[in-house]
């Protein structure tokens, strides 16, 4: 895998009604340093998993009860963004291309080799980290006061404190105070960082 920091922050979920597969995948992935949680049904996964912990899920297409595709739809309905890797011993990859358009990272036919599984997990974790970063940046943005948000947008445009003070009709010292708080709350070092964050959040005009 790519690094200890990823292993510490991410959890691999495995959702399959094949107990032997659950045990096998868990053994293989934990041997590579991943934190792994297994669920024998989609219903159990939805009931017991902590979706606040980032990571991905390896999901069987066909299971007793809710199918993997129905699980995907349920996650979308609940606004839960989690990269999915679909597994199936039935059908072909062409039959499930639509799942990729709905957020799945890839589709693997059973039995999946460790190399293919590893590659799929790397892609899923990379996507999961992007999702996690976006959530953190959005949370940080929402922590700003109304005036701090105004200052942040002007900072992202490259305006100096004097220019922002004139634009908002406030004291330059007040602008400096707001700018300091913006950097602190957004975890930004300078105006370029602020621009990048606001741009990713779709807030750059």
Domain positions in the chain = 4-133, 143-200
Contact 58, 85 (CB under 8 A): yes
Q: Give CA–CA dist 39/48, Å, rounded.
A: 9
- The token pair that represents 91 in the structure block: 């059908």
**What pLDDT score was predicted for residue 178?**
97
CATH 3.40.50.2300, domain 4-133, yes or no: yes
**pLDDT surpasses 80 at 127:** yes
In angstroms, the CA 82 to CA 55 distance is: 7
SS3 56: strand
Mean pLDDT score across all residues of the chain: 87
Point out the least confidently predicted range of 66-80, 97-111, 141-155, 167-181. 97-111
pLDDT of residue 5: 47
What is the average per-residue pLDDT within 169-186? 96
Q: Give domain 143-200's CATH architecture.
A: Orthogonal Bundle (1.10)
């Amino acid at each position: 895998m790519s690094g200890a920091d990823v292993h510490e922050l991410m959890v691999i979920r495995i959702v399959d009604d094949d107990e032997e597969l659950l045990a096998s995948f868990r053994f293989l992935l934990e041997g590579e340093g991943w934190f792994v949680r297994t669920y024998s049904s989609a219903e159990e996964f939805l009931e017991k998993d902590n979706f606040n912990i980032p990571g991905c899920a390896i999901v069987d297409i066909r299971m007793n009860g809710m199918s993997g595709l129905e699980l995907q739809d349920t996650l979308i309905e609940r606004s839960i963004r989690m990269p999915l890797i679909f597994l199936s011993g039935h059908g072909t990859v062409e039959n499930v291309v639509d799942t990729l358009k709905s957020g799945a990272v890839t589709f693997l036919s059973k039995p999946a080799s460790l190399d293919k599984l590893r590659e799929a997990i790397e892609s899923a974790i990379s996507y999961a980290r992007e999702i996690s970063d976006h959530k953190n940046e959005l949370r940080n943005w929402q922590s700003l006061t109304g005036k701090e948000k105004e200052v942040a947008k002007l900072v992202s445009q490259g305006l100096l404190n004097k220019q922002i003070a004139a634009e908002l009709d406030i004291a330059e010292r007040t602008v400096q105070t707001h700018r300091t708080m913006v950097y602190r709350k957004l975890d930004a070092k300078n105006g370029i960082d602020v621009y990048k964050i606001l741009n990713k959040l779709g807030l750059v005009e």
